[in-house]
Amino acid sequence: MEAPLIQVKDLVKYFPVKKLFITVGQVHAVDGVSFEIMRGETFGLVGESGSGKTTLGRLMLRLLTPTSGDVVYNGRSIFELEGGELKEFRRRAQIVFQDPYTSLNPRMTIYDILSEPINVHKIRIPDKREYIVKLLETVGLGEEHLYRYPHEFSGGQKQRIAIARVLALRPEFTVLDEPTSALDVSVQAQILNMLKELQSEFKFTYLFISHDLSVVKFMSHRIAVMYVGKIIEVAPSDDLFSEPLHPYTQMLLSALPVPDPKYTRSKQIIKPRGQVPSAISPPPGCRFHPRCPFAREKCKAEEPELREVKPSRLVACHLYS
């Protein structure tokens, strides 16, 4: 089997919580996460807001330094890279942010925005202008947009520009952090299709982050479910939906309204109970146990590990031990 492109090894990121300059606690944003992403794969990451998805994505691009743990990219730890190697990593690994309204500098024209990565990495191309126009055409825009400012574009167009900026460097790996959650469904469809087409054309590897289960299912080959800083289940996309193993995944799926009145009104519902616990002092044992309908004594005391319980199905739950 092929070696994975990225290995995340027991990654931990705590943010200090300060009150009047004194640290009073720590947000356990990412708390011991391990997984691997294969080359050419779309790895989906779902979870409710605050579960640590963005933090994990930023760690994997070294936009944050971890509290502990490691990210190995192509066999090298990204936190050890320096100078030219770091720059090369910055070229190969890219990110598209959630909010297209703020991810483009309002004082730069599209031409400037798209030429920045080319200038920074001194990419040699015969005609820069032509290259940029081609990039724009790849994402469905055109030459007439070259000298416009971001505010002249709609949200969907801005997100296309942000994607073009990433494409300029021909990266291998891209973190897509909720790239369509600020967009309307008809525009979302355009962007999602485009991302899929780009992937098959350029053999990209994606980490696709979203809180929207149906979007993640559409995009991903494999999906990891996150809950309060931990990954609690990893499964191939279809399997996760046909047979969710972790009680939290089951709860998420049953809470999801499906645009099909007959189905959604007849499906079995596990009523969501309680609230997401604070990431500052997560519950001991399994983090989900206070809300879990199947919780046992063991769940309160002992933290379950993410283990393979069936071929290619990983789950962190004592029910399966």
Ligand X SMILES: Nc1ncnc2c1ncn2[C@@H]1O[C@H](COP(=O)(O)OP(=O)(O)O)[C@@H](O)[C@H]1O
Name the residues that contact Mg ion, by CB under 5 A.
54
Residue 22, classified by CB atoms within 10 Å of its CB into exposed (0-12), middle (13-18) or buried (19+), is: exposed
Q: What string marks each residue from 7 to 46 as x (binds ligand X by CB under 6 A) or -?
A: --------x-----------x-x-----------------
Q: Does 51 bind ligand X (CB under 6 A)?
A: yes
Identify what 126 binds: Mg ion, other proteins, ligand X, none; CB under 5 to 8 Å per kind: none
From the CB of 207, what's the least distance to other proteins, in Å? 13
**Least distance in angstroms from the C-beta of 31 to ligand X:** 10
Q: Which is nearer to other proteins, 73 or 97 (CB)?
A: 97
Residue 101 or residue 131: which is nearer to ligand X going by CB? Answer: 101
Which region among 49-57, 123-131, 162-170, 265-273 touches ligand X (by CB under 6 A)? 49-57
Tell me how far apart the alpha carbons of residues 82 and 62 are, in angstroms, rounded to a whole number.
Answer: 12
Choose from Mg ion, other proteins, ligand X, none: what does 27 bind? Cβ within 5-8 Å by kind: ligand X
The single residue among 75, 83, 106, 142 that binds other proteins, judged by CB under 8 A, is 106
Shortest CB 59 distance to other proteins, Å: 13
- Cα angle vertex 64, ends 219, 85, to 5°? 90
Write down the least CB distance from residue 1 to Mg ion, Å: 32
Closer CB to other proteins, residue 34 or residue 48? 48
CB of 49 to ligand X, least distance (A): 4
As measured in angstroms, the least distance from the Cβ of 84 to other proteins is 11
Q: Which of the stretches 24-32, 73-81, 270-278, 303-311 binds other proteins when contact is defined by CB under 8 A?
A: 270-278
Contact stretch for other proteins (CB under 8 A) within 24-32, 33-41, 100-108, 307-315: 100-108
- Considering only residues 139, 279, 306, 315, which one is a binding residue for ligand X as defined by CB under 6 A? 279
| Cβ distance to other proteins smaller for residue 238 or 308 | 238
Residues making up the chain, counted from first to last:
321
| From 18, 265, 296, 300, residue interacting with other proteins (rule: CB under 8 A) | 265
Report the distance separating Cα 241 and Cα 37, nearest Å.
20
Provide the binding-site residues for ligand X, judged by CB under 6 A.
15, 27, 29, 47, 49-55, 279
